[in-house]
Structure 1
Amino acid sequence: MDRYGSEARERYVAEPPKRSGRTSFERDRARILHSSALRRLAGKTQVMGAGTDDFVRNRLTHSLEVAQVARELGKSLGCDPEIVDSAALSHDLGHPPFGHNGEIALNEAAASIGGFEGNAQTLRILSRLEAKTFDADGRSVGLNLTRATLASCVKYPWRRGERDTAKFGVYDDDLPVFEWLDTEGRLTIEAQVMDLSDDIAYSVHDVEDGLVGGWFSLVGELDTPGSWHVARDWYDPTATDDRLDAALARLRAMGEWPVGPYLGTRASRAVLKSLTSALIGRFAGAAYEATVARWGSGPLVRYEGQLEVPQDTLDEINVLKSLAAHHIMRADLRVADLASQRDLLHGLVAHLRLKGEGELEPEFADDFRAADDDAHRLRVIIDQVASLTDGSAKAWARKLLG
């Protein structure tokens, strides 16, 4: 029996019925898949800069992998796979150039207007910036997704300052559509599946990219003190050395864990691929078993259950994320690059504030002209800069800043 009712299928702006035979949720996924915002992710940093290596992930390939993990896990719990797939494809749409480093810069540049947050930007793209549908007053409502799909794209269903975290899911400018979602601060189970799948893909594939790129090895001694410091700083302040040491020991006991260094051969790549497959199955399987044990066999949809993830599984995921973060994102070789990226984005925002609409792309120039004060004009500039890829941000800087 279908557990999604008419309220879940409602759109912000009503649309006439379609005769294509596709469900509302299948149409949602198609709209996201064909969006320009999704295509731009191909040029945005995942861990290492987009285009720096033919092997490593960019934001688009990462999102596709998240969607595959999420679709299978969500389907096993009874979620509509199209909703989970859509949430996973969308989860990084709001990321600016240079990944999380770009988020830091734009959050600083937007401090006077409520900051910048990639997840709030995702909601803004889906419900306003991506061109598809307009309301009766001529205002863009973005892709006009169903309530169930759009709510499942909201990873942090609260405003800035409402929770004890820097993360938030909506700018004040976008409150009407957020309130229409009626989340009451809750995550749908589809959003929870997306979030865990992001962590799984992030942890497993960033390690794979780091090994192939020669940033570190899983064989021999690992710099665990440095990595565990990152684990507490970035992921879980409660994690103790004993817990993380035990998690690493469990992972190293897996039959798929490499016993020799990565050599770049097909045999080495096969060993690495066996490890990544086993890790994904291990983490997703643990969450499935724990969820079914707590909530039953389902189907679980919307707000009818919680995704349960064992602490041991979370520790193992954080171990892998921390190894990649310590050896790649915090590597001395990257510090100067990260600083110059932030300077570049600050420079673009400052230049566009000075020059105004004449330097903006047509869609953002329209928004700039329609803005009724400096705060709204600055938000348009932030939207413009956030939309750029790594490469186009550098090209704009060469053209506008010299």
Structure 2
Amino acid sequence: MEGTTHALTDDHRDLYDAADTERWAAEPDKRPGRTAFQRDRARVLHSAALRRLAGKTQVVTPGSRSYDWDASPRTRLTHSLECAQVGRELGAALGCDPDLVEAACLSHDMGHPPFGHNGEEALNEFAKDCGGFEGNAQSLRLLTRLEPKRFVPDPTSGELVSVGLNLTRACLDAATKYPWARGDHPTDPDSVKFGAYEDDLPVFEWLRRGAPADRKCFEAQVMDWADDVAYSVHDFEDGLHAGHLDPNMLYAEPERAAIWQVAIGRYVPADTAPEELRAALDRLMEQEWWPHGYDGSALAQSRLKDATSQLIGRFCLAAEGATREAYGSGRLTRYGAELVIPREARNECAVLKAVADLYVMQRDEQERIRADQRIVLAELAEALSARAPEGLDPQFRAIFDAAPDDKARKRAVIDQIACLTDASARSLHARLTRRGRRAER
């Protein structure tokens, strides 16, 4: 099924070669003149998986009563769109193909299940005997197998099998945040972060062909930093806009000590000194555009929007400047460079993450919601497993029926749950469990 390549434009030549634009399954161009990466971007943009992100939690559950109509929290979809805008511009400034970086940013969260990272943890517990669950590994599975775009004959059986969106090698590589399989983390074999399940290793090894072991390509590094920038800045903005965060509290030493405690070990290395984070927050709060005294008025909202723009520009320009200082003015792609992010910028970004974590994610109300979400997914997984293949959607029932063993059949159940939105997970749970039916009465 391997072997298609695409002509490169003059703009691509010497930057991305035939191996970069190769697709797992050969297919002709439908519209001459488009680059391979423009096709990748279009496929991701038009996919059902991307649309489903509109109903998946980013930080706060969509439709949560803790947000008024005019303060709707971001979803996985809005986050992905914002990440794509940041990544496209930063990548282009450094010489990457902008369509390639945008496609990677749009697709990087596609595999995340309902209820955000909370759902990811619940499914990982359920999947512990069949290879675990990881949102980034699920993204690869979705892009290369589950999203129904391209079917080709299996070389052994002759039956039609899905190759997902059939993206280029460079695009799949750029969307791979953790370029290793479960248990193969370069420094921590017990890490819960990995990029491919065992039965997806053939396509993972194909997309990583010629890549240095465990090293992210340059476009993936741009995507990763755009992801950090987008969610740190926008989660902070959402927290202020929803009234969960009073910026005046950030002056109080007890509040600051709590922020450092959240940040160290989770968002910055464990050996980071609190003084570094204090200096990072002070630098931000000393800026003229910082949203001092935010009160929700139209003027304050305008100033907050300006602050988010300033923060995004600050973090992106820091990375662009440091990378240019290290590598010069040429175009940087694939494995020709490493994205350089100054420590000061990383610390500032981490402080914003910690502030949102402390004041938005760790609120008592949110913990009660998360506890209920974990129960919903655990019960849903057990109920679907008990009824399978009945109860599975036709797509996943076919995967279940074709599975060679119990582990693969369990993975088919997990695949269906991971594709659900928050609302559809609760709806299916309500139909399949007594607890759900009681809650509906």
TM range (shorter): over 0.9
Q: Distance in 2 between matches of 1:322 and 1:244?
A: 10
Shift of 1:225: 1.8
Give the unaligned 5+ runs of structure 1: none
Q: Distance in 2 between matches of 1:19 and 1:67?
A: 24
Tell me the SS of whatever aligns to 1:358. coil
Shift of 1:229: 1.4
1:372 maps onto 2:404 in alignment: yes
Shift of 1:139: 1.4
Tell me the amino acid that sits aligned with residue 381 of structure 1: V
1:74 maps onto 2:86 in alignment: no
What is the root-mean-square deviation of aligned Cα atoms in Å?
Answer: 1.1
Q: Distance in 2 between matches of 1:166 and 1:258?
A: 36
Shift of 1:219: 2.2
- 1:250-261 equivalent positions in 2, closer than 5 A: 250-260=283-293
1:189 corresponding residue in structure 2? 218
Tell me the SS of whatever aligns to 1:219. helix
1:94 corresponding residue in structure 2? 111
Shift of 1:161: 1.2
Which of 114, 132, 143 aligns to 1:126? It is: 143
1:22 maps onto 2:44 in alignment: no
2:197 corresponding residue in structure 1? 171
2:419 corresponding residue in structure 1? 387
Q: How many aligned positions are there?
A: 401
- 1:3-402 equivalent positions in 2, closer than 5 A: 3-52=15-64, 53=67, 54=69, 55-137=72-154, 138-163=160-185, 164=188, 165-181=191-207, 182=209, 183=211, 184-220=213-249, 221-222=251-252, 223-236=255-268, 237-260=270-293, 262-401=294-433, 402=437
Tell me the amino acid that sits aligned with residue 399 of structure 2: D
Instruction: String of CA shifts for 1:47-101, please: whole Å, max 9, x gaps.
Output: 1111234432111001000000000000000000000000000111011000000
Q: Distance in 2 between matches of 1:37 and 1:259?
A: 39
Q: Distance in 2 between matches of 1:239 and 1:198?
A: 22
Q: Distance in 1 between matches of 2:369 and 2:63?
A: 15
Does the CA contact (< 8 Å) of 1:43 and 1:390 recur in 2? yes
Q: Distance in 1 between matches of 2:177 and 2:370?
A: 26
Shift of 1:258: 2.1
Does the CA contact (< 8 Å) of 1:160 and 1:171 recur in 2? yes
Q: Distance in 1 between matches of 2:29 and 2:55?
A: 36
Shift of 1:232: 1.8
Tell me the amino acid that sits aligned with residue 322 of structure 1: A
Normalising by structure 2, we get a TM-score of 0.89
Give the unaligned 5+ runs of structure 2: 1-10, 155-159
Shift of 1:20: 3.8
Tell me the amino acid that sits aligned with residue 109 of structure 2: D
Shift of 1:168: 0.3
Tell me the SS of whatever aligns to 2:20. helix
Instruction: String of CA shifts for 1:340-383, please: whole Å, max 9, x gaps.
Output: 10010000110111111110111001111111111001101111
Tell me the SS of whatever aligns to 1:135. strand
Identity over the aligned pairs, expressed in percent?
A: 52
Tell me the SS of whatever aligns to 1:139. strand
Of 267-276 and 160-169, deviating more is 160-169
Shift of 1:273: 0.5
Shift of 1:25: 0.5
Q: Distance in 2 between matches of 1:215 and 1:113?
A: 39
Of 42-51 and 182-191, deviating more is 182-191
Tell me the SS of whatever aligns to 1:121. helix
Q: Distance in 2 between matches of 1:324 and 1:360?
A: 37
